[in-house]
Amino acid sequence: MADEKAPTDWAADVKRYVPDADDRVIAKIVSYCGIALRTRDASMVSFTDTTETDRVRENFCKKKLALEDADDVIDAAIAKVGERMSDTNYRKRVTVYYLLAEQFGKLELFGGAGTASAGSVAGAAAVATAAAATVVPIAPLAAATPATPATPAPVAATEVAAAAPAVQASATALPPGTRGVYTLRSTAPAGIPGGSGGGFMGLAAVMFGGAAAVMIFAAIAGSYIGGTFDAEAPPPAAPAAPAVPAEPAAAAIPDGAGIVSEVVEGRPKVSVFFDVGKNEIAPEFAAAVAPIKAWLDAHPADRVQLSGFTDPTGNAAANAELAKRRAQAVAAALTEQGVAADRMDLVKPADSSDEAVDLAGARRVEITVTPG
């Protein structure tokens, strides 16, 4: 079995197939895989090995994802993931698990957004359609047609001819991009209001001049408002994605008896490894479990959980008994370090011969802290 460490840039590999993959989900899957990622062979999934694909179906799909589908349905999904990753011979376990969780709509189990059902998608589409139907389009003010002024009572041709030059709209030409004010200049003859005279024609001239002023003002205001408000506002800047803390470098698995300490999701964790068929604990145990003792002292309600594993070779019943003896040995050693026995839970794993392909990595007892 190769001892080469597996690469740790799991997120980059997942995003080869899912560019917008959720970094939080990837980190949770890495934590779930745990010891299986410590060596290169264990961190890969062989789709040509039915023992390996059966393990993925039973341990990950059925136990972790809680799938109740028939075996052939799950096997078909696993094969589909294998085809999706056919561009490489190195099908990393984290990527395989992410694609399976995505395929079955189970990303929420790892803190991701759940896949919307067909009903919820249809409902959202209906709401969007209804909302669109209630929108009333508003024409730009610049395009609005000004109201036609009321036509004054007809007057004699001679009077109209006399009043024609009465009021003229004049405007000063302005450079492009500037706004000016149109003014009315009275040239009414004597006898017309606004000039030097008065009478009916003066009233008619004032009415025509007022209508012209209203039309000019409406055109100027509409153009200005339309130019000000018709332009679309620039879209808001997208918020920066939160930084995802990098996973700590994986510690090397000892070849026989040894201790590995790490921090998982902010809590101390210790893995105690054993020689083949033995349950003697390595001498560095006391120093390694000091952080766990300190945590329990600071959090009186929390507890410590012990789970024993063995490699998948040999007699299954004998291996289960050996895993139990190893867990009991670790419990006794913790008691010697001041951890109360009534704060320990010996928890038998669902499969004491877990997914770790590396045999040395499978012969261990895991010590984890659980909330009280």
The model's pLDDT over 38-69, given as tens digits with 9 standing for 90+, comes to 788 888 999 999 999 999 999 999 999 999 99
Mean pLDDT of 88-106: 93
* pLDDT for position 253: 78
Q: Which residues contact 159 (CB under 8 A, 6 or more apart)?
A: 200, 201, 204
The reported pLDDT for the residue numbered 81 is 95
Residue-level pLDDT at 289:
94
Residue 215's pLDDT band (cuts 50, 70, 90): confident
Q: Which residue has the tokens 């009333």?
A: 136
Topology (CATH) of 10-118: Recoverin; domain 1 (1.10.238)
* Most confident option among 67-76, 119-128, 153-162, 201-210: 67-76
The domain 258-370 is placed in CATH, from the list 3.90.180.10, 3.30.43.10, 3.30.1330.60, 3.30.413.10, at 3.30.1330.60
The angle subtended at Cα 250 by Cα 26 and Cα 364, nearest 5°, is 105
What residues form DSSP beta bridges with 270? 261, 367
Q: What would the pLDDT profile of 244-285 be if each residue is shown by its tens digit?
A: 445 455 567 787 889 999 998 899 999 999 988 899 999 999
Residue 206: pLDDT band with limits 50, 70, 90? low
Confidence (pLDDT) at 335: 95
Residue 100 has what pLDDT? 96
- How far apart are the C-alpha atoms of 92 and 40, rounded to whole Å? 9
pTM of the full structure: 0.42
* Closest to 273 in 3D by CA, of 354, 367, 353, 364: 364
Query: Using one digit for the tens of pLDDT, what is the confidence trace for 311-363?
Result: 777 788 888 888 899 999 999 999 999 999 999 999 887 666 665 556 767 78
Higher pLDDT, 74 or 6: 74
Query: What local confidence, expressed as pLDDT, does residue 101 receive?
Result: 94
Domain-by-domain residue ranges, the chain? 10-118, 141-229, 258-370
Q: Locate all alpha helices (DSSP H) within the chain, ordered by sequence.
A: 10-14, 23-33, 50-55, 71-84, 93-103, 118-133, 157-163, 200-229, 285-288, 290-298, 316-336, 359-362
Q: Which residues pair with 260 in a beta bridge?
A: 271
Give me Rg for the CA atoms of the chain: 41
Res 181 pLDDT > 60: no
Name the average pLDDT for the chain. 73
